[in-house]
Structure 1
């Protein structure tokens, strides 16, 4: 009986590669990418292995056809954009206050950003929520 036997490695993995050149700022859609079998055992880690990892992400640099897509070259889509109108929400002590604001920067869900209150002109900070609102931080 052999103890400490090493399990056999699974077959080759997959990697996601672009079908065509994809430029910074483009959203990755299913028709722009495909999965291929990794045949190079020396390929550096850090690339997207399955299509679901990249769909809906935005590229931060040019991606070349047939080359692996580094996970670090992708970001989430902006939930709020600079200059757009967003709802500001402050909740605390049983009180909820809402207002309209303008983000001073682009941001994804979970980012802490500065927003200008449209009515008062005061710049406040808050966290971008999944519904596109900004939850204002208490000072």
Structure 2
């Protein structure tokens, strides 16, 4: 059994048989995709044949060179990393409060994440804005 696993580990990856866009190089998880990372595959495939839908996305998993890029392998780019110090905004009516907080989760635009207010040490839930600021959820 061990010999079989060793043999399978030494086999190089096969070229992609599916079409659409394929990886021009190995893309580790968390890589922000650029146009140089893509290569055209088989013309008959319909999934992800438009580079504008893929460029700017972040990889969820490692995508090896020559493999087709599927939507399930991608996510919106992370704007906030875990333990990052972020600006937390609270607004209710005419009351506006801005403070620093520590992100307890990672996320992209529109995601809800937990953050700890550095001044009061309380944990609140906040939504990530496209500019990277966080707005306390109501």
Normalising by structure 2, report the TM-score.
0.79
For the aligned residues, what is the CA RMSD?
Answer: 1.7
**Between Structure 1 and Structure 2, which shows a larger proportion of helix residues?**
2
CA drift at 1:35: 2.4
Match of 2:96 in 1: 96
Q: Distance in 2 between matches of 1:64 and 1:133?
A: 33
SS of equivalent residue, structure 2 residue 97: strand
Match of 1:110 in 2: 110
CA drift at 1:111: 0.4
User: Does the 8 Å contact 1:28/1:59 carry over to 2?
Assistant: yes
User: Does the 8 Å contact 1:101/1:116 carry over to 2?
Assistant: yes
CA drift at 1:136: 0.5
Count of residue pairs brought into register by the alignment: 120
Match of 2:23 in 1: 18
Does 2:41 align with 1:32? no
Match of 1:80 in 2: 80
CA drift at 1:37: 4.1
User: Does the 8 Å contact 1:34/1:51 carry over to 2?
Assistant: no
Q: Distance in 1 between matches of 2:65 and 2:137?
A: 44
Runs of 4 or more consecutive aligned structure 1 residues displaced over 4 Å after TM superposition: none
CA drift at 1:94: 1.4
> Where in structure 1 are there 5+ consecutive unaligned residues?
1-13
Q: Distance in 1 between matches of 2:62 and 2:81?
A: 22
Does 2:61 align with 1:61? yes
Q: Distance in 2 between matches of 1:64 and 1:81?
A: 25
Does 2:133 align with 1:133? yes
> Where in structure 2 are there 5+ consecutive unaligned residues?
1-18
